Structure 1
Amino acid sequence: MDTRRALLDALGDGPVSGPALAADLDVSRAAVWKAVESLREEGFAVESTPEGYVAPDDPGYSAAGIEFGLDAPYAIEYHARLPSTNDRARDLATEGADGVAVVADEQTGGRGRLDREWVAPSGGVWLSLVTRPDVPPARAPLFTLAAAVATADACREAGVDAHIKWPNDVLVGGLDGEPDSDADTEGRGGRKLAGILTEMQGEADRVSWLVAGIGVNANIGSDALPPGATSLREELGDPVDRRRFAATLLERFAALAGAPDRMDRILPAWRERASTLGRRVRVDTPNGPVTGTAVDVESPGTLVIDTDAGPRRVHAGDCEHLRDAGD
């Protein structure tokens, strides 16, 4: 562990003296001082007291702020502005990076599925996580489901009852008893809070690297949101702590997908948070639309639809929630 991260971890337990930390890490006191100054330059205002160094009351939304207290094995690379966190994460992946979350306050060239524009102004949580999972490419879609679960859980911890529409749209509202009369949300299944775009490179038998790009409308005002979308701030009436939100998301992702032996948890967790299962749906696929009742999701993310002609398994497509007869 580098001195900077060790200092952040130590600060989480209270005041820590420079000499004690230098002895614990077997580094010089000058190296500790350099780490302290580096944190201060990032805006993480470490205070010097007679008892030692003390963490700031408000760690702030920054690399150090997100890493402070983070219970997940990821380093944070923070930018005030980037064209795309996914593009930056992909560059890091090709350079050999692993376990790095690229975070930006604002994206100027974000994109979603099918190269659709993704509005990403200041105030959102825009992050892309680089990982190198030891799994075959056929299992890569599970990481997209894990990212959706992690995002929904972070929204719920923030106080918004989010749910997932297959495969990875994180929504609020639009459930039974919560009709969305807005024409912009008709068929969507609710108001969109977040989206996920996963990219990977691999060989026949293993994934070389994977980037899970996650965009969350956190503290975005209604005037900056596209039709049919909402934000955590709009739903709650108050802004959320983006630092804690990002940390919760990363911790939940690590708990689900941080190791191959944990991945059997992903599908049950996704099913529990999904609003698509049990609903009549229409999925537009490259081979034409499939309409029926969504009954299950199978590994690595295949939607099982009960149609008039029998069960159909859909691997990819745009999913629309339909109104049941009599609704």
Structure 2
Amino acid sequence: MTIEAAQIQRVLSPELRDLLTLSVQQVLPSTNAYLLQQPMRDQQWSVVIAQQQTQGRGQRDHQFASPIGGLYLSLLMPVRDSAQFNAFQQTAAAGVALAETIQALLHYEVQLKWVNDVYDQQQKLAGILTEGYLDVTGRLSGVVVGVGLNFASTIETEHIGNLRALVVAQQVTINQFSAQYLNRLYTLLQLPALELTRRYQRWTPLVGRKLQTIAGQPVQDISVSALKPDGTLILSNQQIVRIGQRVRFAD
């Protein structure tokens, strides 16, 4: 299953084709790390896709197994107003784009797990890692959004799944999937924050879910009342849970 830049670009929308530069690499330690070392292109998107990662990573530097057959794609985009930057919107857009592309091309519905994972029931299919890009002065000037998806890889455990059977059944190539993902991601990032947050909640019905622990501490009779556009959870006892805080849901 070869990833080919020309085939991906052929399916991109004309607007997106003019906006981004696309690089396909056989092997990289990490697609996010690769883009964090590249120069920022003025008002342009830079996309890199690797056929394999040797040091794939997720949140809190957790290792992300990245064998051949997966989709490992990172995007570097400029941040116009660092004071108003909202990393959750990029993460949410990537998650929704993955879920919608899987539904459209593979005719299958997955779930998003707050805040940065894609699941099929109890098995993780994909992870999303959003990182700030700093210029030489230390100012936030861009953001890198990386996704690692077990597309057609054979990796499978009790807690890790893949889309291989669906990919074969629907005869979808990784080039088609990559292009449609990027098209959807671009469209979603044009949405107002409130609308994108609503789209995100369609794939992760958070409101009403009960919590089992917060920061490792057991809780009782506490549920999610609302999700704010910055990714913050408002709980039924008015407590606030921010991105980065560890929570475990009861169901």
Q: Give the TM-score, by structure 1 length.
A: 0.66
Render the CA deviation track for 1:86-145: whole Å, top value 9, x for unaligned: 0111112xx123301110011111011111110010111100100013233542221111
After TM superposition, list the pairs within 5 Å mapping 1:69-84 onto structure 2: 69-71=11-13, 72=16, 73-84=19-30
- Taking only aligned residues, the RMSD between alpha carbons, in angstroms, comes to 2.6
Structure 1: distance between partners of 2:238 and 2:193: 26
- Equivalent residues in 2 for 1:96-175 (5 A)? 96-97=40-41, 98-137=44-83, 138-157=85-104, 158-173=106-121
Alpha-carbon distance in 2 for matches of 1:140, 1:202: 14
**Aligned residue in 2 for 1:256:** 188
Q: Could you tell me which residue of structure 1 aligns to residue 215 of structure 2?
A: 285
Change (3 A) 1:236 1:69: closer
Q: Which residue is equivalent to 2:204? A: 274
Report the AA paired with residue 12 of structure 2.
Answer: L
Taking the TM superposition and a 5 Å limit, the aligned residue runs for 1:292-307 are 292-306=222-236
> What is the SS of the residue equivalent to 1:209?
strand
- 1:162 is displaced (CA, Å) by 1.0
Q: Which has the larger radius of gyration?
A: 1
Q: Does 1:318 align with 2:251?
A: no
CA distance in 1, matches of 2:40, 2:82: 18
For 1:128, the aligned partner's letter is S
Is the Cα–Cα contact under 8 Å of residues 167 and 173 in structure 2 kept in the other structure? Answer: no
**Cα distance between partner residues in 1 of 2:219 and 2:4:** 44
User: Aligned partners of 2:226, 2:208: CA distance in 1, in Å?
Assistant: 8
Percentage identity across paired residues of the two chains: 27
TM-score (norm 2): 0.85
Asked if the contact 2:11/2:180 (under 8 Å) is kept, the reply is no
Relative to structure 1, is the Cα distance of residues 225 and 319 closer, same or farther in structure 2, using a 3 angstrom cutoff? farther
Gaps of 5+ in 1: 1-57, 174-189
Q: Which residues of 2 match residues 213-252 of structure 1 at below 5 A?
A: 213-221=146-154, 224-234=155-165, 238=169, 240-252=172-184
Which structure 2 segments of 5+ residues have no match?
none
One-letter code aligned to 1:194: A
Task: Give, in angstroms, the shift of residue 282 of structure 1.
Answer: 3.7
* 1:49-105 C-alpha deviation (Å, 9 max, x unpaired): xxxxxxxxx9x621112111211232211011111000111112xx12330111001
CA distance in 2, matches of 1:230, 1:202: 34
